[in-house]
Every structure is written in structure tokens, then in C-alpha cells.
Amino acid sequence: MVTLEQYEEHDAVGLAERVARREVSPEELLDAALAKAAAVNPSLNALVHLAPDVARRHIVDGLPDGPLRGVPFLLKDLGCEAVDFPGSNGSVLLANTRYTGNCNLYERLRAAGLVAFGRTTAPEGGVGPVTEAAVYGGPTRNPWSLERTPGGSSGCAAAAVAAGVVPAAHGSDGGGSVRIPASSCGLFGLKPTRARLPDGPYAGEGWAGMAIDGFLTRSVRDTAALLDATHGPDLGAPYHAPPLGGTFMQALERPPGRLRVAFNDRSPAGGTIHPACGRAVAETATLLESLGHHVEEAAPTADVAAMMRAWTVIVACGTALWVRGKLESRGRPLEEGELEPVALAACRYARSLDGADYLAAVEQVHAFGRQVARFFADYDVLLTPTLAEPPALVGRFAHRFEDFEAYRLGPDGVFAYSPYTAAANATGQPAASLPLHWTDDDLPVGVQLSCAFGRDELLVSLSAQVEAAKPWFHRRPDPDVFASPPAA
């Protein structure tokens, strides 16, 4: 019998090692995860499509002898298609969608021995830095403060990991959707190089190559283990990431060497950043310097604002595509209440564009990537805040907005709140948020490290070095904060 305290004191690799030594069984770990889920989900509203019977069947049938055998796991309710786990993709329009086959990523996660038992909520279509979708009956809340959002679009994966339901969870990132929740919930979140993880067979690419899957974890080594289990092209992939020199677990043990680190805490959106975010960058720059790296203030000269306008065009067109696909497949028009205002606004905005506008946006994104690549010829790493502020209050970025451009690019919009993360999606570079700072009132503040295209192993190596110098694993939210549902 494993207690909840024992369950939560290990990361996924540690739990798998205990299973391998027969100190605990997969059934006991699943029971612990389900007990924790039952205790916290009334407050957080993070878990949906729970299927413990499926998880138990997989255990009884025999788990693959993978590196994470027996560890409970959650899938984001956006993508990661699996026959045993229907999804709603954050939308009433797509509620309880059933899949006829498993995606390649899910097959690789299963082969690693993970025991999936449900999904974590997501905003409609993955748009937005929060997780507040009507299909789930209300917002998902942050275990550090129930008044705050856990971020988006993988905010509920982050909430579940931070609250101790699972040690690691699946996410995805098209503009910061792994790193924003990692910053908001005090976790490690890495967006790999474009095409490092498989997209097929349900998709060729996401948002013109800007979207990719990823993971939310409490330790760097859990991310390394998950990447080792899932990376590599799948059949028919339109492009491949550069080959790796070894495994990600090996990168943990390999010193990164003396790196050229640029740091920048000026917002490319033109606004000011919260003092805590500035302090986080300054303290991390000092830490990196103490580790022997060359650190200086510098930033790419590429036009981030122009890239974000192009990003907005691409995402609006992507939203219109999945909405049209659903309506065509069912053979009847949209009904009242099936889409939230932001998705409707994105569809309207997409209708104002033509094919040339879309291709011009893709070209702008590619041009941005080439400009930034020149910067990384002189520097190994760029250090920035992950967000311009601590986690936002619930409701600030709810999908009630009816102007898609204003929601994304307005003075109080998403770009002003998260002006740093989407750059790595546009360039395809690897980038990670590390939980290295907390505000005076105990809210997490992440810092972002990004490396040149294809240098995922270097990013993992550096992140492990920083984690060893300033550990964060045992810093957890107070369970009393999310022990009961918030007041109505």
C-alpha cells in the first residue's frame, strides 16, 4: 500500500524504479492517483473523461516493459487521439469525440509503460493563455491560488501535476501552451524543436509547424525520459528535426560547457513587465554566471510584433479549419452555443482573409525564424521571463471576447501578457520554462531559456545544471489552498 505522501515524493522516473524493484505495483500507483484526483478536482476542475476501468484493463493485460512502466499519466484534452479516451478539445462543438485509431504519440507513450487514466481540460481549440472552456462547466483553477489561472492551453495538465495527481502529464505548445502553464504552476515545461515529436496520423503539422506536443513535469529528468520515449519522425512526416547526438537522459549527465548567454527582460510587446519577472531574470542571470557561463544583456533585433500579427492570421485560419471540418462531417450548420465568442471571432477574422494573406503570414513567420537564427550564431542561449506577469486572475482572458485581433494583440491582450513564448514556436527552436522564482505572496514565476534550432540536448543539459544548483522539486503549493471548492 502506497500513501499519498509516498506517491507524491517521487517523480515519474522514481516511481518507475520502485515498480521495477517490486516495491509498489502499478495498481497501487493508479489507486493513489485516483484518490488524489478525487480530492482535488472539485476545486481545480482539471480532469475530464476519466477512465479508470481502461487503465486497470491495461494493467491486467500486461504493461509494456518500458522505462516508465506503471506510472499514472494524463493526456491533454486536445489532440493525442486515442481509441480508449474520447476528447472534447475544449469545445461544445467537439464534445465527446471518439477516435477510430491511436495517434503515434499515444502509442509511444503506451510503449513506455505509462498508465493513462483520463484527460486534462483545455481551452477551446487551444487558443489562449488560460483554460476556461464552457464544455467543462467553468474555469480550471491554479493550485497555488484558486483565484488564478493555471495558464493555457495545457493549464490543466500543469494544475494536475502541481497538485500531485500525476508526476508528469502530456501537453502541447503552439504559442507557449506548455511554458505558460509551467510558469504559472511552478513546473518545468519544455517545447522541443519543431518536428521532434510525431504529429501523425491525424495531422501533418499544427499551425504551419508552430504547434508541437510536450510535457509538464516536476523534474528535468522526467521530461528527458518522456522525450526519449516519444521523439523521432513518424511515417509520412512532412519534415524531420535534426538528429540527436545521444539520448536526453545522457544529456542530463553531460555538462553543457561554458555557454554564451544573452538575457533580456524588455517586453517585445512594448509594455512594462511585473517587477517579479524582472527579478527572476536578474537572479537567473547571476546564477548562470556563477555556474561559469558568459552572460550579457542582448536580444534579437527581429520584429516580434510583426511575427505575432502573422501568428494571429495562422491561428485564426487553423480555428476556421477545424470548425469547418466538423460542420462538414456532420452535415448541418453551427448551432447556438456550440462555439465560444473567441472561436467565433477567429472564424469571422479568417473569412476576411484570402489564400495570399495566409501564405504571406507563413512567409513572415519564416522570415522571423531566419532573423532570429542569426542571433543564435553569436549566442548559445537566450534568457527571458516566461510571462510578463505572475499568473493572471481567472476570467481575465476568458473566451467571451468578440474581437479576435484585440484578444490577441490589444494593449491588455494575450501578447502583452505573454510576449516571449511564441517566438520559439515561430522559429521552431527548443525553449523551456524553469520554476526559479516566487512572488512575495507565493505565486510561481518562470524564466525561459531557449537555444538554437535542433539543440534540444543542450537545453536539457543546461536545465539539469540549473536544477541541481537551485532545486525546485519539493516546492509545492499548500494543499489547504485547494482542499475545498472556491466560494461561488
Question: How are strands ordered across the β-sheet holding 260-263?
Answer: 168-173, 212-217, 188-191, 431-438, 444-451, 381-385, 260-263, 294-297
Contact 229, 68 (CB under 8 A): yes
Return the ∠ at Cα 170 (arms to 459 and 406), rounded to 5°.
Answer: 85
Contact 157, 400 (CB under 8 A): no
What residue has cell string 491525424? 202
Give residue 84's Cα distance to chain centre: 22
Residue among 43, 145, 153, 450 flagged as catalytic: 153
For 308-357, the pLDDT digits (tens) are 999 999 999 999 999 999 999 999 999 999 999 999 999 999 999 999 99
Is residue 487 in some structural domain?
A: no
Q: What's the average model confidence in pLDDT over 174-203? A: 98
Give me the amino acid identity at 466. V
The total domain count for the chain is 1
Q: What's the average model confidence in pLDDT over 261-268? A: 97
* pLDDT confidence bin for 484, thresholds 50/70/90: low
Is residue 382 in some structural domain?
A: yes
Q: What's the average model confidence in pLDDT over 25-36? A: 98
Is residue 358 in some structural domain?
A: yes
Residue 454 has pLDDT above 60, yes or no: yes
What residue has cell string 486534462? 120
Residue among 36, 43, 76, 191 flagged as catalytic: 76
> Residue 44 has what pLDDT?
98
Residue 487 has pLDDT above 70, yes or no: no
> Residue 480 has what pLDDT?
87
Is residue 268 in some structural domain?
A: yes
Q: What's the average model confidence in pLDDT over 127-134? A: 96
Contacts of 147 by beta carbon, 8 Å cutoff, 6+ apart: 141, 393, 394, 486
Residue 1 has pLDDT above 90, yes or no: no
Task: Give the DSSP H or E segment for 74.
Answer: strand 72-76
> Residue 4 has what pLDDT?
84
Residue 488 has pLDDT above 70, yes or no: no
Q: Is 177 part of the annotated catalytic residue set?
A: yes
For 43-89, the pLDDT digits (tens) are 999 999 999 999 999 999 999 999 999 999 999 999 999 999 999 99
What percent of the chain lies above the pLDDT cut of 70?
A: 99
> Residue 89 has what pLDDT?
97
Is residue 277 in some structural domain?
A: yes
| Candidate from 1-5, 16-20, 163-167, 427-431 with smallest mean pLDDT | 1-5
> Residue 486 has what pLDDT?
53
Residue-by-residue DSSP string for 343-399? HHHHHHHHHT--HHHHHHHHHHHHHHHHHHHHHTTT-SEEEEESSSSSPPBTTTT-T
What is the span of the domain harbouring residue 215?
4-482
For 274-296, the pLDDT digits (tens) are 999 999 999 999 999 999 999 99
Dist CA 225 CA 476 (whole Å): 22
Residue among 145, 177, 184, 461 flagged as catalytic: 177
> Residue 315 has what pLDDT?
98
> Residue 485 has what pLDDT?
57
**Beta bridge partners of residue 173, listed in sequence order:** 212
Residue-by-residue DSSP string for 209-253? TTBEEEEEESSHHHHHHHHHHH-S--TT-S--PPPPSS-HHHHHH
Q: What's the average model confidence in pLDDT over 153-182? A: 98
Report the chain's mean pLDDT, rounded to a whole number: 97
Task: Say how many C-beta atoms besides its own lie within 10 A of residue 279's C-beta.
Answer: 15
Is residue 488 in some structural domain?
A: no
Residue 101 has pLDDT above 90, yes or no: yes
Q: What's the average model confidence in pLDDT over 243-249? A: 98
> Which domain CATH number covers 308?
3.90.1300.10
Cell numbers linked to 24: 509498489
Is residue 470 in some structural domain?
A: yes
Dist CA 415 CA 270 (whole Å): 10
Task: Say how many C-beta atoms besides its own lie within 10 A of residue 154's C-beta.
Answer: 37
